[in-house]
């Protein structure tokens, strides 16, 4: 099923639409019409049934679960006339897997790739008054796509799914995110790229702006004119403890008039790998969190702000500070919330289940590189996004595998040199990790290996982490580990598939991971149960490895994590304080050197005491550990309120 892709991405489309003095964004979400089938309905649908957008059609339309399209959507809307100095585009947050669009019968273009935005110019097609937008969406799977489908079994995990996908989530299809009519100045601001580098007492912000017209561009940060490179003080940096957001305003003036304006809410922070540590704002940080799918009953993969808010606040409530967007880029509003709540995000491309064989390999590699470029273009200004994951569990049983993964890693570094890069692997001994800055390890001791045996599972994990530590001087994030727990399933002693077993295994493996200096993060698989294709090991076509059920009710493990992670946060602070005090004890006290006679010596506390914090800004220790991670505490709410002000 082909899609013509002659207008993949006009300029500036990755600037999020906004409405201001010079720009408008008309949200076309709501109830559309849809028809499954494939006749040429580009001029309008003869009939059709209602469907909600954003949303997958699979769980909305009775009987359409396994129908991967094509589906034709129609939306009628009124639009004000454009002036000669304006242009218009229809922007899709996500059309999965590929789409073409027509406005008033005129073809606007198409896009391939289900999880990233695209905008199609419609300046000439747009009419004042009623407009008819028609979109053809295909969800079919195939070897020439990313993620691929219909993959030869020697290039899969050996599990058989229906629909025939090599990955463990349902291949939902549809218009999964907002659709907007975007009106902008013809000669305006095309792009804004932020770059933050470390500085001894804070950071330096650089801004690269792209405009398509003449005129003078001015920048202001929180209302103050700035001329980058601009120094940002420590207290104004973004971190999980203090997710400070700033308002960057770019204005383009032409012939003394305001021609265009763009307002960006942004956090300023630095992130880097240092030896086997991951540093945020120059300080070691530990990631605690989950792999998270965008998945909910009825919505399917449809984005909804209430769902994203619920998930990320629950993460915060558990004491988590991080998640991976498994196995595809998440919705932009989810990242707005992550920026506000101070959550650290590993942003993953849709390259899950890659294999490096067959005639479609070059096309898959070209798509993987293009989706990576689109992801970086969309999320590069995000404080919450701290690393790129260029693939999940690629099959490494081919000589070309390591080089092609290397190409993806190098491409990510070339596109954005300010974040570490890696890919999630379940094959830690396979070649390829030389290309990664940070090792993302998926490992299932106690489930797929050593089933039911907790001790063996913990030591197996320990062995793998030690081996990685010996082979690579790189930090490791355990990006997946866990166990399926059917909600309400109980056993004493704990047995597989029960909540008790999941709780016990997670606690055991977290403990083990905590013993390894090279481990800088633990992401439990998964945040919540999610839909998969049909398979013999997937009862009810669900993966039950969530610590929350699919409708976000907590399992036993969620409660235990809240205790552990609140505890762990304290432990981490004390551990770091001990390490810092030790370092300080060895370093001569500067005050001693130039103390003037009679001047008071600043107060110092024995190693491990918490008082130090008052003297030294630290990446995560502004407030008491429990407080810093409970978003519902007053000051956090204030911070969020500040951010929204």
Q: Which residues are catalytic?
A: 393, 480
Closer CB to ligand GCU, 92 or 169, in the complex:
169
Q: Which two tokens stand for residue 14?
A: 């990755």
The residue among 291 and 302 lying less far from ligand GCU, judged by its C-beta, is 291
Write out the binding residues for ligand GCU, residues 47-66 only, by CB under 6 A.
none
CB of 294 to ligand GCU, least distance (A): 13
Minimum CB separation from ligand GCU for residue 545, in Å?
A: 5
Query: By C-beta, is 123 or 153 nearer to ligand GCU?
Result: 153
Burial (0-12, 13-18, 19+ Cβ within 10 Å), 151? buried
**CA gap 275, 9 in Å, rounded:** 38
Q: Is 426 in the site for ligand GCU (CB under 6 A)?
A: yes
x/- track of binding to ligand GCU for residues 310-349 (CB under 6 A): -----------------x----------------------
- The number of residues making up the chain comes to 645
529 binds ligand GCU (CB under 6 A): no
Cα 495 from Cα 509, distance rounded (Å): 16
**Contact pattern for ligand GCU over residues 468 through 497, marking x by CB under 6 A:** ------------x-----------------
DSSP β-bridge partners for residue 50: 33
Kindly give the residue spans of alpha helices, DSSP state H, lying in 302-360: 305-318, 332-341
- Smallest distance from ligand GCU to CB 347, Å: 16
Distance of closest approach, residue 445 Cβ to ligand GCU, in angstroms: 12
How far is the C-alpha of 114 from the C-alpha of 137, rounded, in Å?
10
Q: Which is nearer to ligand GCU, 56 or 392 (CB)?
A: 392
Residue nearer to ligand GCU on the CB measure, 57 or 481: 481
Residue 190: which H helix or E strand, with range?
Answer: strand 189-199
Complex with ligand GCU: residue 279 or 545, whichever CB lies closer:
545
Separation CA 73–CA 352 (nearest Å):
28
Q: Which one of residues 180, 336, 393, 499 is an interface residue with ligand GCU (CB under 6 A)? A: 393
The size of the interface with ligand GCU (CB under 6 A), counted in residues, is 10
Cβ distance to ligand GCU smaller for residue 194 or 506 = 506
The closest residue (CB) to ligand GCU is 168
DSSP state of 222: T
97/544 with CB nearer ligand GCU: 544
Among 56, 392, 498, 621, binds ligand GCU (CB under 6 A): 392
Q: Is residue 522 a contact residue for ligand GCU (CB under 6 A)?
A: no
| Long-range CB contacts (within 8 A, 24+) of 619-622 | 619/239, 619/241, 619/279, 619/280, 619/281, 619/282, 619/283, 619/284, 619/285, 620/239, 620/240, 620/241, 620/280, 620/283, 620/285, 620/321, 620/572, 620/573, 621/241, 621/573, 621/576, 622/239, 622/241, 622/242
DSSP per-residue codes, 520-581? EEEEES-SB-EE--BBTTBGGGEE---SB-TT-PBPHHHHHHHHHHHHHHHHHHHHHHHHHH
Which 433-462 positions form the footprint of ligand GCU (CB under 6 A)? 442
- Picking from 110, 134, 608, 196, the residue whose alpha carbon sits closest to that of residue 386 is 196
φ/ψ of residue 402, rounded to 5? -60, -40
Q: Name the minimum Å distance from CB 320 to ligand GCU.
A: 19
572 binds ligand GCU (CB under 6 A): no
- What is the nearest approach in angstroms of ligand GCU to the Cβ of residue 426? 6
Tell the smallest beta-carbon distance from residue 543 to ligand GCU (Å): 5
What secondary structure letter does DSSP report for 596?
P
- Please give the distance of CA 281 from its chain centroid, rounded to a whole number: 20
Among 22, 143, 145, 545, binds ligand GCU (CB under 6 A): 545
And the tokens for 416?
Answer: 């954005």
Token readout for 240 is 């999980």
Please report how close the Cβ of residue 353 comes to ligand GCU at its closest, in angstroms. 9
Widest Cα–Cα separation across the chain? 91
| Residue 497: CB minimum distance to ligand GCU, A | 13
| Residue 231 contacts residue 195 (beta carbons within 8 Å) | no
CB of 368 to ligand GCU, least distance (A): 16
Q: For residue 521, give Cα distances in angstroms to 324, 480, 587.
A: 11, 11, 29
CB of 541 to ligand GCU, least distance (A): 13
Residue 543 touches ligand GCU, criterion: CB under 6 A: yes
The 3-class secondary structure across 28-95, one letter per residue, is CCEEEEEEECCCCCCCCCCCCEEEEECEECCCCCCCCCCCCCCEEEEEEEEECCCCCCEEEEEEECCE
Strand-pairing partners, residue 301, are: none
Strand ranges across the sheet with 189-199: 189-199, 202-211, 230-233
Angle between helix 454-471 and 499-514 (nearest 10)? 30
122 vs 439 by CB, closer to ligand GCU: 439
Identify which of residues 64 and 405 has a Cβ nearer to ligand GCU in the complex. 405
| Residue with smaller CB distance to ligand GCU, 159 or 398 | 159
Segment 130-189, which members bind ligand GCU (CB under 6 A)?
A: 168
**CA 67, CA 183: separation in Å to the nearest integer?**
35
Q: Which residues contact 587 (CB under 8 A, 6 or more apart)?
A: none
Cα–Cα distance between 109 and 120 in angstroms, integer? Answer: 6
* Residue placing its CB nearer to ligand GCU in the complex, 282 or 350: 350
* Positions in the binding site for ligand GCU (CB under 6 A): 168, 327, 392-393, 426, 442, 480, 525, 543, 545
């Amino acid at each position: 099923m082909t899609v013509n892709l002659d207008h993949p991405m006009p300029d500036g489309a990755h600037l999020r639409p906004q409405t201001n003095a010079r720009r408008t964004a008309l949200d076309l979400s709501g109830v559309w019409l849809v028809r499954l089938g494939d006749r040429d309905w580009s001029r309008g649908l003869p009939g059709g049934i209602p469907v909600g957008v954003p949303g997958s059609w699979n769980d909305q339309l009775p009987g359409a679960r396994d129908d991967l399209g094509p589906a034709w959507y129609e939306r009628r809307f009124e639009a004000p006339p454009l002036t000669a100095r304006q242009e218009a585009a229809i922007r899709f947050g996500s059309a999965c897997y590929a789409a073409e669009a027509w406005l008033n019968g005129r073809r606007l273009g198409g896009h391939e790739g289900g999880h990233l935005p695209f905008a199609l110019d419609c300046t000439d097609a747009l009419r004042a008054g009623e407009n008819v937008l028609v979109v053809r969406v295909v969800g079919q799977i195939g070897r020439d796509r990313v993620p691929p489908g219909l993959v030869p079994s020697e290039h899969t995990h050996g599990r058989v799914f229906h629909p025939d996908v090599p990955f463990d989530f349902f291949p939902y299809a549809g218009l999964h995110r907002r659709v907007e009519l975007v009106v902008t100045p013809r000669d305006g601001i095309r792009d804004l790229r932020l770059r933050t580098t470390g500085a001894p007492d804070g950071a330096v912000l650089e801004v690269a702006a792209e405009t398509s017209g003449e005129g003078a561009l001015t920048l202001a940060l929180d209302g103050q004119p700035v001329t980058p490179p601009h120094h940002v003080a420590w207290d104004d940096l973004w971190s999980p403890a203090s997710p400070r957001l700033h308002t960057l305003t770019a204005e383009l003036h032409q012939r003394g008039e305001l021609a265009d304006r763009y307002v960006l809410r942004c956090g300023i922070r630095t992130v880097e790998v240092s030896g086997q540590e991951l540093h945020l704002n120059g300080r070691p940080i530990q990631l605690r969190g989950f792999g998270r799918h965008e998945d909910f009953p009825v919505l399917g993969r449809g984005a909804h702000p209430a769902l994203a808010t619920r998930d990320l606040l629950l993460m915060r409530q558990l004491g988590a500070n991080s998640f991976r967007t498994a196995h595809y880029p998440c919705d932009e509003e989810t990242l707005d919330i992550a920026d506000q709540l101070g959550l650290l995000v590993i942003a993953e491309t849709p390259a899950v289940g890659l294999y490096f064989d067959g005639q479609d390999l070059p096309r898959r590699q070209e798509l993987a590189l293009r989706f990576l470029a689109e992801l970086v273009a969309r999320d590069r200004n995000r404080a919450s996004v701290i690393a790129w994951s260029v693939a999940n569990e690629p099959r490494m049983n081919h000589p070309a595998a390591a080089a092609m993964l290397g190409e993806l890693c190098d491409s990510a570094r070339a596109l954005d040199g300010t974040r570490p890069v890696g890919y999630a692997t379940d094959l830690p001994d396979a070649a390829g990790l030389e290309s990664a800055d940070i090792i993302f390890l998926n490992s299932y001791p106690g489930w797929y290996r050593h089933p039911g045996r907790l001790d063996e599972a913990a030591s197996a994990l320990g062995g793998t982490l030690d081996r990685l530590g010996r082979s690579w001087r790189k930090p490791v994030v355990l990006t997946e580990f866990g166990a399926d727990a059917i909600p309400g399933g109980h056993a004493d002693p704990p047995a597989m598939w029960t909540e008790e077993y999941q709780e016990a295994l997670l606690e055991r493996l977290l403990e083990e991971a905590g013993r390894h200096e090279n481990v800088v993060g633990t992401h439990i698989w998964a945040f919540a149960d999610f839909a998969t294709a049909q398979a013999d090991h997937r009862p009810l076509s669900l993966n039950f490895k969530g610590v929350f059920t699919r409708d976000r009710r907590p399992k036993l493990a969620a409660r235990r994590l809240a205790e552990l992670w609140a505890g762990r946060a304290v432990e981490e602070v004390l551990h770091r304080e001990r390490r810092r005090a030790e370092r300080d004890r060895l370093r001569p006290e500067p005050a001693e050197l130039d103390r003037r006679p009679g001047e008071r010596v600043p107060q110092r506390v024995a190693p491990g005491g918490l008082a130090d914090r008052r003297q030294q800004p630290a990446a995560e220790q502004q407030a008491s550990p429990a407080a810093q991670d409970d978003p519902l505490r007053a000051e956090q709410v204030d911070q969020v309120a500040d951010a929204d002000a």
